[in-house]
Amino acid sequence: MLNLLGGLLLLGAASAVQQTFGAAGNPEPAPLDETLMNVLDKNHDGKVMLSEVNESLDGFAAMGAMGQEPGQGPSEVTLMLRAAKIGAPGIFKLMDADASGALTQDELKWVETAYTAIATQGVLKKLVQDIFAAIDSDSDETMSEAEMRAAVESETLDVLLGIIKAQLPIPALSAESSRATLQENFKEVVGHLDTDGDGAVERKEMLAAARAFKAMFMKGVKTVKEMGPMLAMFSAFQQPEGRGARGAGTRGRGRGRG
């Protein structure tokens, strides 16, 4: 494992030579959307499919498992990648503004927007609290099945849509079909939030889920920001024969696509 990481670090350092440099002489990091495209776009067609996201997550998980002792439990990184893979389909769908089944580089820019809002503005906790308050009509600190069903089948859904758009604009919810998109994804999200399987969601369950998502999301984005060239190089190594590797960490990668 150490040898593999050492080799990747050297390759990452070598790729950094191709980066642009700031006034202080330090490497200027590529925009996050460009790095994500470098890491995830396996066939270099200027868009990212969910299958490519899953392929990348599987590859990073395999890399993280190398060198582990037999019988040793999964590492923190492995657990994070597993959680990311579970949440990937829902997040992918919300980022896919035109419902094309693929993410363009412009759509990937939302990750930086969300990261900034969550990191500096405390958006996620307020968003969760406002959504919970809108659904919990009897204020008993629990969203019952009946309350959640009413929320997605009544004007409350428009209230929820307004809360989300105002606090953390999500690409897929800006389209004309946003109401249907929210209905579909809300039911899916509720299934993940109901950790004790009683059909209802307590405030503490929802806040705990928000904290867990925030920790995973922040750590994941920070890792990509810090290790982008190395991850892109490793992603190139994962590609099937004949696809050809893209220069990791380079700038000017056709940013106008999509």
Q: pLDDT tens for residues 88-120?
A: 888 898 899 988 999 999 999 999 999 999 988
Identify whether 45 is part of a domain. yes
* Residue 7 banded pLDDT, cuts 50, 70, 90: very low
Identify whether 20 is part of a domain. no
What's the confidence (pLDDT) of residue 63?
74
* Residue 14 banded pLDDT, cuts 50, 70, 90: very low
Ranked by mean pLDDT, the top range of 108-112, 181-185, 236-240 is 108-112
Share of the chain above pLDDT 70, in %: 76
* Residue 24 banded pLDDT, cuts 50, 70, 90: low
What's the confidence (pLDDT) of residue 236?
64
What's the confidence (pLDDT) of residue 5?
33
What's the confidence (pLDDT) of residue 79?
80
Identify whether 17 is part of a domain. no
Least Cα distance to 80 among 102, 92, 95, 65 occurs for 65
What's the confidence (pLDDT) of residue 13?
34
Residues whose CB falls within 8 Å of the CB of residue 34, separated by 6 or more in sequence, listed in order:
105, 251, 253, 255
| Amino acid, res. 16 | A
What's the confidence (pLDDT) of residue 140?
95
- Taking residues 149-169, report their average pLDDT: 89
| Amino acid, res. 246 | R
What's the confidence (pLDDT) of residue 61?
80
Identify whether 96 is part of a domain. no
Helices 76-95 and 50-65: angle between axes, nearest 10 degrees: 170
* Residue 25 banded pLDDT, cuts 50, 70, 90: low
Tell me the C-alpha to C-alpha distance, in Å, between residue 25 and each of 19, 21, 28, 188: 11, 6, 9, 47
Q: Which residue has the higher pLDDT, 257 or 231?
A: 231
In contact, 232 and 15? CB cutoff 8 Å? yes
Residues whose CB falls within 8 Å of the CB of residue 218, separated by 6 or more in sequence, listed in order:
115, 118, 119
Instruction: Say whether pLDDT at 150 is over 60.
Output: yes
* Residue 2 banded pLDDT, cuts 50, 70, 90: very low
Instruction: Say whether pLDDT at 55 is over 80.
Output: yes
**CB neighbours (10 Å) of residue 114?**
20
Identify whether 244 is part of a domain. no
- The parent domain of residue 135 ranges over 2-9+28-90+106-238
CA distance 88 to 23: 38
Strands 142-143 and 201-202: antiparallel
Identify whether 245 is part of a domain. no
- Taking residues 188-192, report their average pLDDT: 74
* Residue 26 banded pLDDT, cuts 50, 70, 90: low
CA distance 129 to 224: 29
149 token code pair: 């069903």
Identify whether 116 is part of a domain. yes
| Number of domains into which the chain is organized | 1
* Residue 18 banded pLDDT, cuts 50, 70, 90: very low
Identify whether 184 is part of a domain. yes
Element containing residue 229 per DSSP (H, E):
helix 203-238
